[in-house]
Amino acid sequence: MTDYDVLRVFCGPRGEYGNELGVVREGSVLPGRDERQAFAAKLGFGATVFVDDPERGVVDLYAPDARLPFAGYPCVGVAWLLDVPELVTPAGVVGTRLDGEFTWIEARPEWAAPRTLHRYATAAEVDALPVPPPGEEWYAWAWEDEAAGRVRARSFPGRGEGAEEDEATGAAALHLTALLGRALNVTQGKGSQLLTAPQPEGWVELAGRVFLEH
């Protein structure tokens, strides 16, 4: 069996919530794309990262059904694990930094998968939304405290059996930050936390807590 770590990314302050991530530190044990895709599908996490060069931060990212040029929560997770100044992804070079309990990456929103952003009037409306049937994808958000940049969000990826809700969506946070042009503190799902900050020339920083499950 191939060795891998399991991280939880975009956690709450006590390590709760967040998304599970698989990381194969020795990517050379599964060098082929087909092998990696099959292994990612077998693990069944939202994403699995294969580390091809831990010192340079060269990584290869996979969802269970596709190779990913970039994705937010896998990059935050593997940045915490490797503790390197940058990650080299198929989409481009991702800057990274550790700041206390949060791990930050810097990326371009256009690298992230598109999301349909729907604004609601209140956080209570977002909380009350039912999970839609398969095929309906959107990211619901509302201000909890606009002056403080606090956002309540839920993400419905539109796949699965209709009961699926994404607990923490870095791609949507990047897109929302680019749209609003300001730093955000996002509470998503049951209690995941994502921080963002716009940067010059269209870059956006994205941060979260990362915990090692095993």
Q: What are the chain's domains? A: 5-107 (3.10.310.10), 117-201 (no CATH)
Give residue 214's pLDDT: 83
Average pLDDT over residues 39-56: 96
Query: Residue 161 to residues 78, 158, 165, 186: CA-CA distances in angstroms?
Result: 29, 9, 10, 26
What residue type is 112 in one-letter code?
Answer: A
Average pLDDT over residues 138-159: 94
- Taking 70 as the threshold, does the pLDDT of residue 119 lie above it? yes
Backbone φ, ψ for residue 68 (5° rounding): -115, 130
Average pLDDT over residues 41-70: 96
- Taking 90 as the threshold, does the pLDDT of residue 136 lie above it? no
- Taking 80 as the threshold, does the pLDDT of residue 1 lie above it? no
Per the prediction, the chain carries an average pLDDT of 95
Answer yes or no: pTM beyond 0.75: yes
Between 37 and 113, residue with greater pLDDT: 37
Neighbouring C-beta atoms of residue 135, cutoff 10 Å: 8
Between 15 and 159, residue with greater pLDDT: 15
Between 164 and 163, residue with greater pLDDT: 164
Average pLDDT over residues 185-204: 97
Average pLDDT over residues 158-176: 82
Give residue 180's pLDDT: 98
Can you tell me the distance from the alpha carbon of 116 to that of 114, in angstroms, rounded to the nearest whole number? Answer: 7
pLDDT band per the 50, 70, 90 thresholds, residue 134: confident
Report which secondary-structure segment, H or E, holds 139. strand 138-145
Average pLDDT over residues 86-93: 98
Q: Which residues contact 146 (CB under 8 A, 6 or more apart)?
A: none
